[in-house]
Structure 1
């Protein structure tokens, strides 16, 4: 463009020709030349019609992220970063049908510098939103379920340089980034764009089209998939339509190219890593019975807040009873999970526990036999005889072995302590004797004074 304007500088200054008309004429000539050579089997960069540009793949290019990967194909470069979060960080969407949520999100960003230009950067444009949606849909079939991987997954593809098929580079880079982060995806996904140049007599399909071939060609057919099949497609077309033979040949060409890319990706990282990054949060998921959700949350959230403060974790419970416990320390998560499971588990008669005395009353002692679960050990279960004051044989904080002996009418647990009871026989009498009042035989009997008098009016 600059060379042409410089060569015609005199005519432009004299007003003999307009710059816009000159640039449009050059564009038409370039388009005609490229199409003619392509129909002869000659691509502008001397590649074969089914040849990929050079590939380069790297993982862990950023040191402190949860996962990162750089995918390069020719001049197109995409850097994808994986960020993992708790289920509370899901994206909430509202529409006329109600409210839904997304735990897997893909963002696509291509700043002006990626095409060698300058310009303002602001909210994502239509192109960015569309490319992000395509890459997101391409990977959706291989994303693990919440039960398999209870995380919110956010991918950000930063296009550093682009010369065609940046959305497909984002798809490939996202796959590598997910595996580097330790996300257990079901399979590797790659994508390729197939272009076409045609006239009235024949058509030529071009594998891995560059930007100028996209600009001057008749279509941009993006296809993503695994070795087993296709996950997403998108077609941009500049002709009236495609024949069945064109579509068939396009899928054949894309499959061959996709398998080559997958082989290259596999050589770098074949399977997802077994461990998450040390910078990623640790999360465990448990399912609460519907009738136990309120018990874990507590009145006004008192119980769940106490659990989060005690174990320094984040707990989120959805309407279906799925509770996710999140922290950087896996030992704290395990301790919190054990307490919650202890709170909601069913207790059966005959089960035995090692408990701790939490409170002593005149009628017995309360024993915490599981974290967050306590029941009454009645005074009658402490000794073999009469016990006037339980605090004489049992103290706050004492450890005691107890057995579930039954339930009362309110389904509250009743405890027994056979070993403790045997060690404390108590008084042999059921109740110590009390002094009986002396009976005065000379005391006069009560007299019958007749019926009670009527109250005066």
Structure 2
């Protein structure tokens, strides 16, 4: 039966029971002219998977904005980076909110069918997914709400229109339940910690209203939830592990070295499996299940032991950052490079500077085609964790980590007029033990400065964690290692300068909601750690190199009158193409008249600059050219000083020995050195003399 629900305060309208009725849950969600359909389907897992097999996808139809896809195939194909990022946003918000013993396959799909360019579909898709889940048979510990907070003209605005977001200098996406926040992601122009926490709790008040509305929807739809069958007797096997993991065994796992600790973990697990081998075989219990229970109980016991011992598994104090080493300029033929190592995490970063032709053009459903002059690509290589794995294209995690690191520099990079280069950063993770995205941030800062990119401030990043014991006490961990990411209740990445936060990503597994003082402690500890890392970076470099590498082609930029752009380009691009071909340069002209010429320093680059300025009418007496004779007349000769631009060498400006018989001495296509005598910027006439 079709039912409609409205939340007038936010302009929400959701329809249940009309669309996609063979899905376990479906929500047709509207706000203004933006329409999203979110569906969820579950299926029993054939074997125990050892993790929650949740697949989350977000798709944008080009028809939603009245567009046809570019390219040869003219249809939607592999997910765009933005679709991957929104998919991850939804996944990270809903994944912690399923029962710990629920392991059915789940597929969530949100499809954007209409966009009015006022109401953005991203957080709407997350809310619609929550509604689809709470009105389905799938056991879900939500609902959840989501908002986008933007700082516009110094004030924080809740879910502004698309046009208003273009003026925003900070964007923070917040999701959570009525109990607390469980997912945050954002980029910002130096937000201080106290302001950031205020924004989170303002957003949470809105989320509470969204959640209350969804509870009313779930109550009226009244869908019965499927029963979770305990096929393995969880309590029995948890008891087995609990008895096995005695204090002396746990003590053996507190080891500083990762490789040695990993061997100790593996040995302990093998001992446990061997001790119950006959029972496992007799009951035909999934070995994956037994290992999962072992890891789950071990995680809880080790966490409690950290509180007792007052230090972490690698024997660090809770606020200690691992040892850091940094090297810059180690790749001799790169424009800039750095290697950043923190503990066992090592990132090799390179910077390449290019021209306008190297900009990345990105088609977008909501916006017009974007031209990106800054790219950051993150590669997580299998050998970084000692694995054998085929190399494929970048996965969702790699796209997400690269996006987070790139967001850290959005308000740090120089503008196009000051530094008209296209910048590409590539990070290869050579060794991984947690915090690789933040190592990417730190390594990228050093590589940018090594390349001579005039960034306004140095950026560092740190990953924070959170653990809790059986007494409900919390400890915040600085610079978490890989194992702490898996064991902890929170993964909280913060990047910024000494002036404030520039990017953040937070995932909270704790379902009860965290208090303000926990956030305050985490952010203050993160700031202390971030500044410590910044200090280590400043021991190597404190500011960008004054000069670019000699390997970097130069970019010269200047403005020409907008009304003269057509004169420079010429019919069907004839003039500009000829200049590019003859000077071996790359030339870009923006709509506002900004010209960027990219080429190696020398005569040809100088020639290209002179030619473009001439075509644009930026001509002054005394300018000299090597011109070609185009036409000989009774009153002189017309000389092409640049492609598409002629000047008159009048007979009166010729030397005496040439005036008498210049018609015989000069031939068409002869090359002459000439100098501008006068230029009329109204008529465009140029008078020349021989130089």
TM-score by length of 1: 0.81
Q: Quick one: structure 1 residues 7 and 300, their matched pair in 2 at CA, closer, same or farther if it must change by over 3 Å?
A: same
For structure 2, the 5+ residue unaligned runs are 1-264
Partner of 1:145: 415
| Structure number with larger C-alpha Rg | 1
Distance 1:20 1:104, change over 3 A: same
Instruction: State whether structure 2 residue 496 is matched by structure 1 residue 225.
Output: yes
Change (3 A) 1:382 1:154: closer
The equivalent of 1:234 in structure 2 is: 505
- In structure 1, the residue matched to 2:461 is 191
What is the CA-CA distance between 1:81 and the residue it aligns to?
Answer: 1.3
Q: Which SS does the other structure have where 1:51 is aligned?
A: coil
Is 1:23 the counterpart of 2:291 in the alignment?
yes
Which of 398, 414, 425 lines up with 1:128 in the alignment? 398
Deviation at 1:237, TM superposition (A): 0.4
Residues 147-206 of structure 1, C-alpha deviations (whole Å, 9 max, x = no match): 111111111111111111111011101111111111111111000111111245421111
The farther-off stretch of 212-221 and 317-326 is 317-326
Q: Shift of residue 280 of structure 1?
A: 2.5
Distance of aligned partners of 1:244 and 1:297 in 2 relative to their CA distance in 1, 3 Å threshold: same
1:74 is displaced (CA, Å) by 0.5
Q: Shift of residue 55 of structure 1?
A: 0.5
CA deviations over 1:39-92 (Å, ceiling 9, x no partner): 232211111111111101111222221211111111111111112211111111
Q: Is the aligned partner of 1:85 residue 2:354?
A: yes
Q: Residue deviations 1:329-376, cap 9 Å, x none?
A: 34422231122113323558xx56667783431133335678975333
| CA pair 107-7 structure 1, distance change in 2 beyond 3 A | same
Which deviates further from its counterpart, 296-305 or 13-22? Answer: 13-22
Q: Distance in 2 between matches of 1:405 and 1:193?
A: 63
| Equivalent in the alignment of 1:404 | 678
Partner Cα distance (2:296, 2:686) in 1: 91
SS at match of 1:140: coil
User: In the alignment, is residue 320 of structure 1 matched against residue 592 of structure 2?
Assistant: yes
Q: Compared with structure 1, are the counterparts of its residues 37 and 275 closer, same or farther at alpha carbon in structure 2 (3 Å cutoff)?
A: same
Alpha-carbon distance change, 149 to 11 in structure 1, aligned in 2, over 3 angstroms = same
Alignment check: 8 A CA contact 1:171 1:191 kept? yes
CA deviation map 1:101-134 (0-9, x unaligned)? 1110111111222222222321222211111110
Structure 2 CA distance for aligned equivalents of residues 167 and 406 of structure 1: 58
Q: Cα–Cα, structure 1 residues 38 and 10, in superposed 2: closer, same or farther, change >3 Å?
A: closer
Summarize the Cα distance change of 1:391–1:143 in structure 2 as closer, same or farther, 3 Å threshold. same
1:5 is aligned to 270
Does the CA-based 8 Å contact 1:195-1:209 persist in structure 2?
yes
How far off is 1:296 after superposition?
1.4
Whole-angstrom CA distance in 2 between matches of 1:324 and 1:102: 15
Q: Secondary structure at the match of 1:124?
A: coil
The equivalent position to 1:174 in structure 2, one of 404, 429, 444, is 444
Cross-structure match for 1:69: 338
Q: Is the contact between residue 412 and residue 456 of structure 2 (CA under 8 Å) also seen in structure 1?
A: yes
Bigger Cα displacement from structure 2, 139-148 vs 37-46: 37-46
RMSD, aligned α-carbons: 3.1
Q: Is the 8 A contact 1:39 1:203 kept in 2?
A: no
Structure 1 stretches of 5 or more lacking a match? 421-457
SS at match of 2:543: coil
1:23-422 correspondence to structure 2 within 5 Å = 23-40=291-308, 41-96=310-365, 97-199=367-469, 200-239=471-510, 240-346=512-618, 351=621, 358=629, 359-366=631-638, 373-378=645-650, 391=663, 403-404=677-678, 411-413=683-685, 415=687
Distance 1:111 1:132 in 2: 14
Residue by residue, what CA displacement relative to the aligned partner does 1:11-50 show, whole Å, maximum 9, x if unpaired? 4367146422431232133212221122232211111111
Which whole-Å CA distance do the structure 2 matches of 1:91 and 1:393 have between them? 52
Q: What's the CA shift for 1:95?
A: 1.7
The answer on whether the counterparts of 1:283 and 1:333 sit within 8 Å (CA) in structure 2 is no
